[in-house]
């Protein structure tokens, strides 16, 4: 009896440890089951050797070797051992070779087949680390190493995650639990998660982490908090990741007791200089600051009649002797009811071009408003030739279902990166105008890091695109799916199709035809196109849709706000005429009558309703695709994703029905064929309230 109980618990335990809980992300390193494939790799990875000039005792090299040995032990069941004696060809040896920086630049690497062995060449430690992750990825994906000659160099120098994490452990717009950074127990308690986080980031080339919220807290600069930050930096360092902090502009007052934070005040400058010096004594490779100033209630230089450049430059001067940088956010707008919010960042920052210090970068959100399911690219890209810019993307899904909807963001990221600004002539893509990419992280304490299992794919995609913005969304997701799920190629292909299609599906059920910011108050979660009572005009969905009995849409042409004039003439030409403007941006740039005839011959009202319906049908398609994988992927994640898809289907209907109910109350037109009557009346949708939806911010 006792024996069988023990056996029962043993079995339970085995089941538990082998269950796919998603913690390992895409670094699963499970045993390769195809024996011929496995033995091919075994022959390749018998030993490793450090060439001259490679410091195998450096923390980064040790991390790289550890990762390689762990990965190969898992996948091949072998123990990669250091080589002894002279090098023999054909012996399955992996050689680390240091080369001069003029051969392979910073963080780059080359992998070549050397007659049965492999050579990994790099000019710095980070290059070796990235090369190791590349090799591991190839083995994970079962790719042949025969005759390979691969050379990789990151396209962008700044590849950074922005955590909107607060010191109390909450995450602004976080939907996967609490912050992974436990400020209370740092610096002594070093959670294994910190290392695993760094490994995951490094595996996709992320080389920076801003660990605090842009809505910043001056407390981070207190000595004890700096010690905590330093402990995190120590964990990140071997993985090539620099730590950055957000700087609250009023810190000299709140923490330093000064009576001003005026950037031109000598005492303020001295305070920052001293604080920065103090940070560098603890974190010698500290990356620098991210600053949200004079935006949504955050303090900034404008309070003292100083410009954003004067504010940024003061901090930049304090950081410059240490090679630190300032990432100054362009996310600013005021509450002038007559202004078009979409124009304000450009108006504020273009005149400042050329006045920033060399170590300042201006961080610009992908669209001119705020991380909507779809926006055209921000007109700032390419418009400040003397000021380096960073592209800020939101990986956390604040406006795309808040973490419960399956929406692959890579198609949205690539849409922006590939967009042609025409600022320096044809081919001036957004990607070509930026120095790096910043991604607002979607990571939290949930066991699988991101809540919805598919949200991991966005973290992965962000890193890969920061490394190489020319990668296609399909190629990235093909990697992620193959690394994250086992099974026949059909499994990965289905997952890729779902991720690729899902973004347009979401746009359709939330904000079709160029609508934006239609989310309800506070939670940014469900629909609220009728909302018009918020304190600031540009927080109201009605401000954005401008719908009335005559029509819908925001006129940003010459007859309206003329935001269009902020773009290059070629871009203006694409969007200026509603007859030729791509439908996906139609209502972003144009206010049109309900019976406007679309390019496909439909009237606008019918087309709008159909798009909502298509979005809902898209969620049903997603669920059916996933259903087809039952029994083909692990049951744990299959069930989890199935449940999330149920939420998404229900909420897509809510979006469709609430939006149609409201807009019909204005258009007075009948529903086109194939679009069902909303389940409830408008009053019902208006009455819904979700005070405890995650990520609610009391201030907006």
Catalytic-role residue among 152, 165, 348, 370: 370
Closest to 645 (Cα-Cα) out of 629, 657, 661: 629
Binder among 370, 415, 504, 607 for ligand BDP (CB under 6 A): 370
The sign of the dihedral angle between the CA atoms of 311, 314, 319, 325 is: positive
Residues 639-668 that bind ligand BDP (CB under 6 A): none
Q: Shortest gap between Cβ of 368 and ligand BDP (angstroms)?
A: 13
Tokens of 649: 């289907």
Q: Mapped to the 3 state alphabet, what secondary structure does 283-303 carry?
A: CCCCCEEEECCCCCCCCCHHH
Residues, the chain, total? 700
Catalytic-role residue among 20, 67, 93, 398: 398
For the chain, give me the number of helices (H) and strands (E)? 21, 16
Smaller CB separation from ligand BDP, 310 or 370 = 370
Separation CA 20–CA 56 (nearest Å): 34
The sign of the dihedral angle between the CA atoms of 209, 205, 405, 636 is: negative
Tokens of 667: 């258009």
Site string for ligand BDP, 268-307 (x = CB under 6 A): ------------------------x---x-----------
Binding flag, residue 371, ligand BDP (CB under 6 A): yes
Binding flag, residue 458, ligand BDP (CB under 6 A): no
Smaller CB separation from ligand BDP, 220 or 586 = 220
**DSSP letter at 171?**
B
Tokens of 318: 């304090």
Smaller CB separation from ligand BDP, 331 or 413 = 331
Smaller CB separation from ligand BDP, 171 or 230 = 171
Smaller CB separation from ligand BDP, 109 or 333 = 333
Radius of gyration of the chain measured on its C-alpha atoms: 26
Smaller CB separation from ligand BDP, 208 or 240 = 208
Binding flag, residue 175, ligand BDP (CB under 6 A): no
Question: Is residue 531 within 8 Å of 663, Cβ to Cβ?
Answer: no
Separation CA 215–CA 164 (nearest Å): 8
Residues 318-347 that bind ligand BDP (CB under 6 A): 331
Binding flag, residue 120, ligand BDP (CB under 6 A): no
In angstroms, the Cα distances linking 355 to 312, 319, 360, 361 are 10, 17, 10, 12
Separation CA 346–CA 566 (nearest Å): 8
Active site residue 296: yes
Smaller CB separation from ligand BDP, 93 or 398 = 398
Q: Shortest gap between Cβ of 296 and ligand BDP (angstroms)?
A: 6
Question: Is residue 540 within 8 Å of 533, Cβ to Cβ?
Answer: yes
Smaller CB separation from ligand BDP, 98 or 248 = 248
In sequence order, the β-bridge partners of residue 326 are 289, 360
Q: Shortest gap between Cβ of 173 and ligand BDP (angstroms)?
A: 5
Report the Cα 443 to chain-centroid distance in Å. 10
Q: Shortest gap between Cβ of 392 and ligand BDP (angstroms)?
A: 8
Binding flag, residue 400, ligand BDP (CB under 6 A): no
Binding flag, residue 348, ligand BDP (CB under 6 A): no
Binder among 153, 170, 182, 215 for ligand BDP (CB under 6 A): 215
Angle at 637 between CA 492 and CA 477, to 5 degrees: 30
Binding flag, residue 172, ligand BDP (CB under 6 A): yes
Residues ≥6 apart with Cβ < 8 Å to 16: none
Residues ≥6 apart with Cβ < 8 Å to 349: 308, 330, 362, 380, 384, 387
Separation CA 435–CA 352 (nearest Å): 18
Q: Shortest gap between Cβ of 397 and ligand BDP (angstroms)?
A: 11
In angstroms, the Cα distances linking 202 to 19, 22, 75, 511, 596 are 25, 18, 20, 35, 51
Binder among 163, 173, 308, 653 for ligand BDP (CB under 6 A): 173
Site string for ligand BDP, 622-641 (x = CB under 6 A): --------------------
Residue nearest to ligand BDP (CB): 370
Catalytic-role residue among 191, 296, 317, 497: 296
Tokens of 431: 């990607």
Q: Shortest gap between Cβ of 400 and ligand BDP (angstroms)?
A: 12
Q: Shortest gap between Cβ of 96 and ligand BDP (angstroms)?
A: 41
Q: Shortest gap between Cβ of 217 and ligand BDP (angstroms)?
A: 13
Backbone angles phi, psi at 289, to 5 degrees: -115, 150
Q: Shortest gap between Cβ of 417 and ligand BDP (angstroms)?
A: 19
What is the total count of residues that contact ligand BDP (CB under 6 A)? 11
Smaller CB separation from ligand BDP, 9 or 700 = 700
Binding flag, residue 697, ligand BDP (CB under 6 A): yes
Separation CA 22–CA 443 (nearest Å): 13
Q: How far apart are the first and last CA of the chain?
A: 61
Smaller CB separation from ligand BDP, 400 or 498 = 400
Site string for ligand BDP, 219-258 (x = CB under 6 A): ----------------------------------------
Separation CA 542–CA 310 (nearest Å): 36
Smaller CB separation from ligand BDP, 375 or 398 = 398
Q: Shortest gap between Cβ of 380 and ligand BDP (angstroms)?
A: 15
Closest to 528 (Cα-Cα) out of 337, 661, 367, 395: 661
Max distance between CA atoms of the chain, in angstroms, equals 85
Q: Shortest gap between Cβ of 389 and ligand BDP (angstroms)?
A: 16
Separation CA 495–CA 461 (nearest Å): 14
Cβ atoms within 10 Å of 26's Cβ, excluding its own: 20
Tokens of 549: 């009995």
Residues ≥6 apart with Cβ < 8 Å to 37: 142
Active site residue 370: yes
Smaller CB separation from ligand BDP, 80 or 214 = 214
Separation CA 635–CA 170 (nearest Å): 31
Binding flag, residue 214, ligand BDP (CB under 6 A): yes
Smaller CB separation from ligand BDP, 119 or 173 = 173
Tokens of 540: 């109201």
Q: Shortest gap between Cβ of 77 and ligand BDP (angstroms)?
A: 47
Binder among 398, 415, 504, 606 for ligand BDP (CB under 6 A): 398
In sequence order, the β-bridge partners of residue 328 are 291, 362
Active site residue 310: no
Q: Report, as residue numbers or ranges, the catalytic residues.
A: 296, 370, 398
Contacts with ligand BDP by CB under 6 A lie at 172-173, 214-215, 292, 296, 331, 370-371, 398, 697
């Amino acid at each position: 009896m006792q024996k069988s109980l023990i056996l029962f618990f043993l079995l339970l335990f085995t089941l538990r440890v082998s269950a796919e809980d998603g913690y390992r992300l895409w670094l699963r390193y499970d045993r390769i089951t195809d024996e011929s494939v496995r033995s091919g790799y075994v022959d390749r990875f018998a030993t490793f050797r450090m060439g001259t000039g490679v410091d195998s005792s450096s923390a980064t090299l040790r991390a790289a070797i550890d990762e390689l040995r762990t990965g190969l032990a898992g996948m091949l069941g072998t123990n990669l051992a250091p080589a002894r004696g002279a090098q023999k060809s054909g012996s399955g040896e992996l050689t680390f070779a240091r080369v001069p920086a003029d051969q392979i630049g910073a963080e780059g690497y080359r992998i070549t087949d050397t007659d049965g062995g492999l050579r990994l060449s790099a000019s710095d430690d980070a290059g070796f680390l990235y090369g190791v992750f590349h090799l591991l990825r190839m083995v994970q994906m079962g790719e042949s190493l025969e005759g390979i000659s691969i050379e990789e160099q990151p396209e962008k120098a700044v590849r950074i995650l922005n955590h909107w994490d607060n010191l109390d452990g909450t995450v602004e717009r976080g939907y996967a639990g609490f912050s992974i950074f436990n400020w209370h127990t740092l610096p002594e308690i070093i959670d294994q998660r910190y290392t695993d986080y760094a490994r995951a980031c490094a595996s996709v080339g992320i080389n920076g982490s801003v660990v605090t919220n842009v809505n910043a807290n001056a407390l981070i600069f207190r000595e004890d908090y700096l010690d905590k930050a330093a402990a995190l930096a120590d964990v990140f360092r071997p993985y090539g990741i620099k730590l950055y902090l957000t700087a609250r502009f009023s810190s000299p007052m709140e923490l330093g007791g000064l009576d001003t934070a005026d950037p031109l005040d000598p005492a303020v400058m001295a305070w920052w200089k001293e604080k920065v010096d103090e940070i560098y004594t603890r974190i010698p490779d500290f990356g620098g600051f991210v600053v949200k100033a004079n935006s949504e209630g955050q303090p900034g230089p404008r309070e003292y009649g100083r410009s954003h450049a004067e504010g940024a430059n003061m901090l930049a001067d304090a950081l410059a002797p240490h090679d630190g940088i300032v990432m100054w956010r362009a996310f600013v707008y005021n509450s002038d009811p007559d202004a078009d919010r979409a124009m304000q960042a450009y108006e504020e920052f273009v005149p400042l071009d050329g006045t920033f210090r060399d170590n300042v970068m201006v961080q610009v959100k992908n669209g001119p408003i705020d991380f909507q399911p779809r926006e055209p690219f921000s007109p700032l890209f390419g418009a400040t030739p003397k000021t380096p810019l960073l592209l800020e993307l939101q990986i956390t899904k604040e406006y795309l279902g808040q973490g419960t909807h399956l929406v692959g963001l890579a198609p949205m990221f690539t849409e922006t990166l590939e967009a042609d600004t025409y600022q320096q002539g044809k081919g001036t893509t957004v990607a070509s105008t930026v120095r790096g990419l910043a991604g607002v992280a979607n990571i939290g304490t949930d066991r699988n890091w991101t809540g919805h299992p598919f949200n991991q794919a966005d973290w992965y995609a962000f890193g890969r695109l920061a490394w190489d913005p020319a990668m296609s969304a399909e190629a990235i997701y093909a990697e992620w799916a193959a690394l994250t799920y086992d099974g026949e190629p059909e499994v990965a292909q289905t997952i890729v199709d779902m991720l690729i299609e899902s973004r347009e599906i979401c746009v359709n059920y939330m904000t079709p035809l160029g609508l934006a910011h239609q989310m309800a108050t506070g939670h940014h979660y469900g629909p609220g196109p009728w909302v018009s009572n918020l304190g600031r005009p540009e927080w109201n969905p009605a401000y954005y849709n401008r719908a009335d009995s005559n029509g819908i849409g925001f006129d940003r042409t010459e007859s309206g706000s003329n935001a269009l004039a902020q773009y290059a003439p070629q871009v203006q030409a694409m969007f200026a005429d509603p007859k030729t403007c791509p439908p996906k941006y139609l209502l972003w740039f144009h206010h049109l009558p309900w019976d406007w005839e679309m390019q496909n011959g439909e009237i606008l009202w019918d087309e709008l309703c159909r798009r909502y319906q298509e979005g809902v049908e898209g969620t049903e398609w997603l669920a059916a695709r996933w259903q087809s994988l039952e029994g083909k992927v692990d049951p744990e994640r299959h069930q989890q994703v199935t449940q999330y898809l149920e939420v998404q289907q229900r909420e897509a209907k809510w979006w469709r029905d609430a939006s149609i109910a409201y807009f019909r109350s204005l258009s007075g037109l009948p529903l086109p064929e194939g679009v069902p009557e909303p389940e409830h009346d408008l009053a019902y949708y208006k009455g819904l309230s979700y005070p405890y939806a995650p990520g609610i911010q009391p201030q907006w």
